[in-house]
Amino acid sequence: MSKPGFHGPLERVNDCCWRIPKSYKKGMRVDGLIYASEAMLDQIKGDQAPEQVANVAFLPGIQHASLAMPDIHWGYGFCIGGVCATDPEEGGVISPGGVGYDINCGVRLVRSNLDYQEVKPHLVELVDRLFRNVPAGVGRGGKYKFNRRELAQLMQLGPACLQDRGLTTAGDLDHTEAGGCLAGAVPEAVSDRAMERGSGQCGTLGSGNHFLEVQVVDAIFDDVAAAAMGLHKDMVCVMIHSGSRGLGYQVCDDALKQLRGVPEKYGIELPDRQLACAPIESPEGEQYLGAMCAAANYAWCNRQLLMAQARDVFAEVFGRSWQSLQMNLVYDVAHNIAKLETHALGGRRRRVWVHRKGATRAFPPHHKEVPDVYQKIGQPVLIPGDMGRASWVLVGQAGSMEQTFGTACHGAGRKMSRTQAVRQAKGRRIDQELAARGVVARARGWRGLAEEQPDAYKDVNTVVDVVHHANLAAKVARMRPIGVIKG
């Protein structure tokens, strides 16, 4: 009986990249490419994620390669960290498995003018108030309620529609990927059940790996880029990680049910049913894309409202308005999304649908979609780590456009399943272990912290080293956690 894991070929391309040749499986249209260091290979080959990279290479219209970032681990259909681009002109498909259940799960970083020594005496109070005031946990609703018409507006316009309520500023929109709104959203394509689930969850954190974290900048690696983002050593920041909550989950679930049998209808042969897909230019493909874009816009609203609540808590604790505290949004990135983008392929510019499943856009300097303030340095790339080590800010580099459709990793990547993590944490107090590292942690229960303990994740520092050395994104600043709330 063979050991579980991947037993196919992994050929060295360079120190940061490994190839699964398309000859590995009959039906692969392109090679698979995995970005990783040699030291990571045993871990990567330990599960079926590389097999999923090979399977994605079967998708019609796929361009260049089926890609995976160094935070790769097993997922639904696509691996987490999986990236591919499909061309509608070549019968390209859209696959919900290449976006994920938590549509537009993403990360935003908020700076402040507070230094660590100023926050330290108030840290426990600050984290406790954040935990009380920011709804977190499975199925929890929040203080913001939207009727059906308002919900449709959120899904159509994203956080721009919150400006009239004083919950969004023009600066917030300018510092959000895509301005916080994907064109092509069709709220009518979202089911009643999804609408019902999303009606009371906008502005809530959720559970699992979602978090709101108070961090301190502990190292600067690029003075110019850090200055452009308003970051300096010892500054206190807030990082928020959440997505489209129950609404996005339901959109994905609905789509997977609707797409059963659709590949066969269009003569598409797939090695894994979890890669269910539809041609982009088909009624089924258009239906999913309309709903996916709507859920993505909802997710940006969710993170916007989470940030608004965090700003309010800081204002209460420190007795100054959030504007006085200069709690400005550095950037917001999506990492479970499909987007129509222009990329150079085969010597010409082509419009392709880039699937990023647990992967972050990393556009370089002077790209037209990078905000004006970051044109000279490139798009900020936010890479959260585990609760006990670090998170990173990088900037996109030209190599990302040449190699990965403008993409870098999205986090550390799990090395333990949640079940394994809970088993390994038995008899331990993860909150006390974090406290010993200087991190104040609050969660709805022991299990949430056990599942997300630092040991469950790869070391984010080694993951970031790969994308830095591969010229996908360059290091700017490292932050260490000092307070965290989880569902």
Indicate whether 428 belongs to any domain. no
Indicate whether 442 belongs to any domain. no
Enter the pTM of the model.
0.97
CATH number at residue 40: 3.90.1860.10
Report the catalytic residues: 410
User: Is residue 408 within 8 Å of residue 362, measured between CB atoms?
Assistant: yes
What is the residue range of 306's domain? 11-415+457-485
User: Is residue 450 within 8 Å of residue 20, measured between CB atoms?
Assistant: no
User: Is residue 439 within 8 Å of residue 387, measured between CB atoms?
Assistant: yes
User: Which residue intervals of 165-282 are DSSP H helices?
Assistant: 170-174, 192-198, 223-229, 245-258, 262-265
The rounded Cα 136 to chain-centroid distance in angstroms is: 18
C-alpha angle 441-330-372 in degrees, rounded to nearest 5: 170
Q: What's the sign of the alpha-carbon dihedral 343, 374, 384, 470?
A: positive
Indicate whether 235 belongs to any domain. yes
- DSSP three-state, residue 83: strand
State how many domains the chain has: 1
C-alpha angle 194-160-172 in degrees, rounded to nearest 5: 115
User: Is residue 62 within 8 Å of residue 86, measured between CB atoms?
Assistant: yes
User: Is residue 220 within 8 Å of residue 476, measured between CB atoms?
Assistant: yes
Whole-angstrom distance, CA of residue 411 vs CA of residue 358: 8
Q: What is the predicted pLDDT for the residue at 303?
A: 98
Indicate whether 435 belongs to any domain. no
For the chain, list residues with pLDDT below 70: 1-3
Indicate whether 203 belongs to any domain. yes
Tens of pLDDT, residue by residue over 242-265, are 999 999 999 999 999 999 999 999
Indicate whether 6 belongs to any domain. no
Tens of pLDDT, residue by residue over 443-462, are 988 888 999 999 999 999 99
Q: What is the predicted pLDDT for the residue at 2?
A: 56
